[in-house]
Amino acid sequence: MGTGFVAHFNTLVTKSPAAITVAILAMGGEGGGVLADWLVDMAENAGCFAQKTSVPGVAQRTGSTIYYCEIFPEEAARAAGNREPVLALMPVPGELDVVIASELMECGRAVQRGLVTPERTTLIASTHRVYSMSERTHIGDGRVDATQFIDAGKAAARIFVRQDFFRLAQESGSVISAPLFGALAATGALPFSRTQYEEAIRRSGVGVEASLAAFATGFAAAQRLEDASSGARSASGDAAAPRVGIRTRALAKRVEETFPEPSHAILLAGVLRLGDYQDERYATEYLDKLDEIRDLDTQFGSGDFALLRETGRYLALWMSYEDAIRVADLKIRSARFARVREEADASADQLVRIKEYLHPRLEEIADILPAAAGDWLLHAGLMKRMVERLTRNGKLVETTSLRGFLQLYAISSLRRFRRGSLRFHREHHLIDGWMLELPPVAREDYALACEVAQVPRLVKGYGDTHHRGSRNFAAVMGALPHVRGRPNAAERMRRLRDAALADDTGEKLAQVLQEVA
């Protein structure tokens, strides 16, 4: 096969609309096939092409099966010239939109196989355990720590919904497939309404009432604030106990009363995150920014409020950017000390010492200074060199000592002055510019607006990572005028965003920018 043919084939693939991909990992008797049948039936009744395959395997308990579904929306088929799509038979690592695991070890196996990716995959898993043969036959306690699977899911997935769906199924007199189906509906990962999910169960005609009851419990469990916020992790990797005040609860009520149901989980998580990050006023500003997006989505959207959900997700993440103030705040929380003690398996009478290696760069110091002072520091030759010399080798800070704790506490207490900092001004200037682009784009091309809403995923972390992300964000947003009004504009924007995430050098993005613009 010649290289010319391969290049032509690759070009065709990148220009073709993509199917929605779902993998279900379940054991025999758990209803994985039934869940896949419901999914296919729902998609076909919504006018989509859909296909289900299964890959049985002799796995940890000699019965694990991967059910694989691909859904090709009708509008995508029309965009491809009304041609019937060719759907794949097996899941491909890195190409899954949704992964559903009926048990925690199946969740771990999905992560290990590369089926779950942080840029793309919504992961839904039951937290109950069915022990493997090696665990059962171990001479001692050979059980695998469940927290390892949960931590792996948190790190690997874009959104991670976890609950004991097996218990919910038992309480409803059904099997685990029904509450898992409900959890899938609650995530909004697929372009179908709750009614469409429920109608698929009714059309099956078997155990309908028990399945609907279990579906409802799974839906409710996935929408709880604790589960919804579990996918919103800080870049430092430290779990933080959110601060919840009276005004935060009032904002949660505002979300439930003035925003559509499909957006509640994400917006509630955003409110909680930003109230914890800064204050309730900051969370109020977050919702104020989304009022216009909600109205635009109501007018131009298809009813699933994808634009509102994606804007709400990435706006919350961007507004809670990582700076030295946030890092210090997370490092001195009691929840972190408790977690470290637990991970170290320390007994009550043992002392645990925590030492942090801190290596702040000049830019990170300037970021938390008042805007004028920070800008001066970045451009003051002598002072700049002095600070760089002092911070060149980094510093060890023992958080568990009084001196070390107070040092980090002093930095975290600067939160009250964050609004006047250089980084705050810079980030919010970019945020406001991005938000201004969304309304006009949504009015002319809703699908493109949904892609533009996800461009801030490029901006993350701090230091070199943040610099590269900001550079790529500017490049992708700079291409927006060249993309608007062109055929397959949404797909072009998605290709740009994916290229920016493909490598650290920017070579892939530069190549796609040439092709698209």
Q: How does pLDDT run across 106-157, given as a tens digit for each residue?
A: 888 888 888 888 888 999 998 887 776 666 654 334 567 777 788 888 888 8
Cα–Cα distance between 22 and 117 in angstroms, integer?
13
Question: Closest by alpha carbon to 110, among 143, 67, 70?
Answer: 67
Question: Closest by alpha carbon to 67, among 53, 88, 57?
Answer: 53
- Residue 82's pLDDT is 61
Residue located via tokens 């196989």:
113
Report CA 80 to chain centroid distance, whole Å.
Answer: 29
Residue percentage of the chain with pLDDT more than 70: 85
List, for residues 266-313, the tens digit of each pLDDT value.
999 999 999 999 999 999 999 999 999 999 999 998 889 999 999 999
Stretch 26-31: mean pLDDT: 71
Which two structure tokens, joined as six digits, stand for 172? 């409803």
Cα–Cα distance between 399 and 353 in angstroms, integer?
8
Residue located via tokens 């002319």:
444
- Report pTM: 0.55
List, for residues 390-427, the tens digit of each pLDDT value.
777 778 889 999 999 999 999 999 999 999 999 999 99
Stretch 224-243: mean pLDDT: 40
Long-range CB contacts for residues 50-55, cutoff 8 Å, separation at least 24: 51/87, 53/89, 53/90, 55/90
Q: Quote the DSSP letter at residue 87.
A: -
CA-based torsion, 88, 90, 96, 98: positive or negative: positive
- Residue 149's pLDDT is 80
Cα–Cα distance between 84 and 469 in angstroms, integer?
38
Cα–Cα distance between 226 and 223 in angstroms, integer?
8
Residue located via tokens 């980030």:
427
Cα–Cα distance between 39 and 44 in angstroms, integer?
9
Alpha helices (runs of H) in 113-190, residue ranges in sequence order: 133-137, 146-156, 165-172, 177-187
Query: Which has the minimum average pLDDT: 29-33, 96-100, 196-200, 203-207?
Result: 29-33
Indicate if the pLDDT at residue 102 is higher than 70. yes
Q: CA Rg, the chain, in Å?
A: 24
Cα–Cα distance between 374 and 86 in angstroms, integer?
56
Question: Closest by alpha carbon to 511, among 479, 470, 469?
Answer: 479
Cα–Cα distance between 326 and 334 in angstroms, integer?
15
Alpha helices (runs of H) in 188-279, residue ranges in sequence order: 194-204, 208-223, 225-229, 246-258, 264-277
Burial of 400 (0-12, 13-18, 19+ CB in 10 A): middle
What φ, ψ does residue 252 adopt, rounded to 5°? Answer: -60, -40
CB atoms closer than 10 angstroms to residue 415: 18
Which two structure tokens, joined as six digits, stand for 373? 């002072």
CA atoms within 13 A on the CB side of 462: 22
Residue pair 456/445 in contact (Cβ under 8 Å)? The answer is: no
CA atoms within 13 A on the CB side of 296: 26
User: How big is the CA angle at 259 (ends 311 and 71), to the nearest 5 degrees?
Assistant: 60
SS3 123: strand
Cα–Cα distance between 497 and 511 in angstroms, integer?
12
Report CA 138 to chain centroid distance, whole Å.
Answer: 37
Cα–Cα distance between 372 and 138 in angstroms, integer?
64
CATH of region 3-223, choose from 3.40.50.300, 3.40.50.450, 3.40.710.10, 3.40.920.10: 3.40.920.10
Domain extent listing, the chain: 3-223, 230-320, 324-421, 422-517
Amino acid (1-letter code) at residue 225 = L
Report CA 251 to chain centroid distance, whole Å.
Answer: 22
Stretch 497-516: mean pLDDT: 84
The strand pairing partners of 49, in sequence order, are 72
Question: Closest by alpha carbon to 456, among 466, 442, 446, 444?
Answer: 466
